[in-house]
């Protein structure tokens, strides 16, 4: 959207047309665009297939909350909803890498530095 | 008497126009840009769709449920609330951005080179705390390599003296330095765990700036097949400051979005970001018709995701410090529904 863009503009875009990031599966679809250069329709279809849901579910926070909990893909810690016993942040990315079958650089670096076997050549 | 509708000018000011006036601006915007960019104007159906979006008096508008797109957010955060990693977490968790970006206030690869270890440490911390993809971004910013900011003779001073050969040689020399610096910074960020590298406002200094971005992109793709590489443009048209530079045998000067996209695809980029600047003296309706007309040919051949630049002053969003949500949301809806873009 452009550096120097003031706070507030992003809010309008995310509400008008954004997938919703971690509130939904926006981060997962974004990873397919970045890692496999997939266009939106293909990326949504890929992620939906891996999660066992429909492409429309991917931007539905209600549907995705349950899917993210079931698969350990990370959820948002808010006042009345925290899950310290479940995967979050770097832990969740281990599961995202496995579920989407893509290398995540920080996960591979983590494995390398603590002596875990890598699943991907990066 | 035809009712008047509250709408925006390109500078963000609120004005009232009739539906007929908005319609006329849409038609003028597409005709003017089609002539300038040598592309087809928008179809009547597309203009009618834009008219429905822009002749509405609603405070806010949005795409249909299920049609949402990915938000990559170059320049994530304000730099003035909390620290930089907290900025990324806020955008991830409160705003719902899909790809956040770590960056420093001197948004230039040359400037970052001097403190890259600290930037890498910040990236490592961000990677531990964020679930979202986190990319690192900066401008190629070729002008930084010319005197007095850099070591190379200033081509903007050489050209008025008619020292064309010297000006061209200077740009080529600067281009090589820039490619090295982008690689240097990117290598450190990948080592720190970055998910992607963003070259923002590429081409700001003309064709040599764009060439540096493409060359660095190809080198990074060869080294890091998994890496997200986003190339966002500075404007709709690549200026020929050199004039003869080529990538894969194609002259870069004078390229519009369709050809810019072909080059980014060939270089191995993951995401291409077209930018069409705002005319502040025209309405947002005029500006959105212009932007969509210019970008449409790129969407017809896109093989990689296209994230249109829709920040302040580009892509139909007014040039003002606080872009109004009515104007921003209209631009957001228009690009998704007419061009079927992949993100912002």
**pLDDT score of A38 more than 70:** yes
C-alpha span between B206 and B210 (Å, rounded): 7
Burial B100-117 (b: 16+ CB within 10 A, else e): bbbbbeebbbbbbbeebe
| Shortest distance, CA B207 to any CA of chain A (angstroms) | 20
| pLDDT single digits (tens) B257-303 | 999 999 999 999 999 999 999 999 999 999 999 999 999 999 999 99
User: Residue B85 has what pLDDT?
Assistant: 94
Residue percentage of chain B with pLDDT more than 70: 100
* Inter-chain touch B71–A31, beta carbons under 8 Å: no
Q: Count CB-CB contacts under 10 A for residue B9.
A: 23
DSSP category for residue B252? -
| pLDDT single digits (tens) B119-158 | 999 999 999 999 999 999 999 999 999 999 999 999 999 9
Please provide the distance, in angstroms rounded to a whole number, between the alpha carbons at the two ends of chain B.
39
Closest partner residue to B323 (CB to CB) among A9, A73, A78 is A9
Residues of B with Cβ-Cβ distance to A59 under 8 angstroms: 65-66, 68
Q: What is B82-273's CATH number?
A: 3.20.20.210
* Inter-chain touch B99–A17, beta carbons under 8 Å: no
Residues of B with Cβ-Cβ distance to A3 under 8 angstroms: 74-75, 103, 107, 137, 200, 311
**pLDDT score of A48 more than 70:** yes
The full set of domain ranges for chain A reads 20-114
Residues of A with Cβ-Cβ distance to B227 under 8 angstroms: 34, 105
* Inter-chain touch A20–B68, beta carbons under 8 Å: yes
Closest partner residue to A13 (CB to CB) among B200, B322, B344 is B344
Burial B153-185 (b: 16+ CB within 10 A, else e): bbbeebeeeeeeeebbbbbebbbebbbebbbbb
Residues of A with Cβ-Cβ distance to B131 under 8 angstroms: 22, 27, 73-74, 88-89, 92-93, 96
Best of A15, A19, A30, A82 to disrupt the B interface (most B CBs within 10 Å) is: A30
A113 at interface of B, judged by CB pairs closer than 8 A: no
pTM: 0.96
DSSP per-residue string spanning B56-90: ---S---PPTT--BB-EETT-S-SSSS-HHHHHHH
Residue B173's nearest CA partner among B197, B202, B147 is B147
User: Residue A121 has what pLDDT?
Assistant: 65
* Inter-chain touch A9–B196, beta carbons under 8 Å: no
Which residues between 49 and 88 in chain A have a beta carbon less than 8 angstroms from any beta carbon of chain B? 55-56, 59-60, 73-74, 76-78, 88
| pLDDT single digits (tens) B217-266 | 999 999 999 999 999 999 999 999 999 999 999 999 999 999 999 999 99
β-strands B134-138, B99-102 pairing: parallel
Average pLDDT of the residues of chain B: 96
* Inter-chain touch B132–A27, beta carbons under 8 Å: yes
A79 confidence band (pLDDT: 50, 70, 90):
confident
The full set of domain ranges for chain B reads 1-57+276-300+312-344, 82-273
Three-state secondary structure call for residue A54: coil
User: Residue A119 has what pLDDT?
Assistant: 74
| Shortest distance, CA B134 to any CA of chain A (angstroms) | 10
Closest partner residue to B99 (CB to CB) among A5, A14, A30 is A30
Please provide the distance, in angstroms rounded to a whole number, between the alpha carbons at the two ends of chain A.
29
Residue of higher predicted confidence among B321 and B286: B286
* Inter-chain touch A17–B95, beta carbons under 8 Å: no
**B201: nearest CA in chain A?**
A2
């Amino acid at each position: 959207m452009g550096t120097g863009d003031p706070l507030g503009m992003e809010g309008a875009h995310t509400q008008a047309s954004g997938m919703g990031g971690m509130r939904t599966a926006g981060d997962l679809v974004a990873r397919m665009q970045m890692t496999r250069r997939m266009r939106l329709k293909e990326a949504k279809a890929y992620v939906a297939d891996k999660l066992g849901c429909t492409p429309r579910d991917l931007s539905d926070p209600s549907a995705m909350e349950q899917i993210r909990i079931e698969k350990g893909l990370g959820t948002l810690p808010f006042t009345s909803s925290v899950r310290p016993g479940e995967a979050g942040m770097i832990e969740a990315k281990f599961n995202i890498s496995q579920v989407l079958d893509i290398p995540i650089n920080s996960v591979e670096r983590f494995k390398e530095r603590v002596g875990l076997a890598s699943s991907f050549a990066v | 008497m035809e009712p008047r509708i509250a709408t925006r000018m390109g500078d963000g000011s609120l004005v009232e126009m009739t539906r007929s006036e908005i319609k006329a601006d849409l038609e003028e915007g597409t005709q003017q840009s089609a002539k300038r960019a040598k592309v087809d104007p928008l179809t009547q159906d597309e203009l009618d769709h834009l008219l429905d979006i822009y002749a509405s008096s609603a405070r806010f508008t949005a795409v249909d449920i299920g049609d949402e797109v990915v938000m990559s957010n170059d320049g994530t955060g304000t730099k003035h609330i909390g620290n930089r990693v907290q900025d990324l977490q806020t955008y991830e968790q409160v705003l719902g951005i899909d790809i956040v970006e770590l960056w420093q206030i001197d948004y230039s690869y040359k400037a970052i080179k001097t403190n890259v270890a600290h930037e890498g440490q910040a990236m490592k911390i961000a990677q531990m705390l964020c679930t979202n993809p986190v990319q690192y971004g900066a401008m190629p910013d070729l002008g930084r390599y010319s005197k007095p900011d850099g070591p190379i003779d200033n081509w903007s001073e050489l050209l008025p003296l008619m020292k064309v050969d010297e000006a061209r040689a200077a740009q080529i020399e600067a281009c090589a330095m820039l490619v090295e610096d982008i690689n240097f910074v990117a290598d450190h960020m990948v080592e720190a765990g970055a998910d992607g590298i963003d070259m923002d406002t590429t081409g700001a200094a003309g064709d040599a700036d764009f060439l540096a971005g493409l060359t660095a992109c190809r080198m990074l793709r060869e080294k890091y097949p998994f890496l997200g590489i986003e190339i966002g443009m500075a404007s709709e048209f690549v200026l020929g400051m050199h004039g003869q530079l080529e990538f894969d045998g194609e002259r870069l000067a004078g390229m519009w979005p369709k050809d810019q996209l072909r080059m980014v695809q060939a270089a191995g980029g993951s995401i291409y970001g077209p930018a069409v600047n705002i005319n502040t003296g025209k309405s947002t309706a005029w500006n959105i018709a212009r932007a969509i007309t210019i970008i449409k040919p790129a969407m017809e051949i896109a093989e990689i995701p296209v994230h249109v630049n829709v920040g302040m002053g580009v892509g139909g969003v007014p040039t003002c410090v606080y872009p109004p949500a009515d104007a921003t949301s209209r631009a957001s809806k228009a690009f998704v529904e007419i061009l079927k873009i992949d993100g912002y």
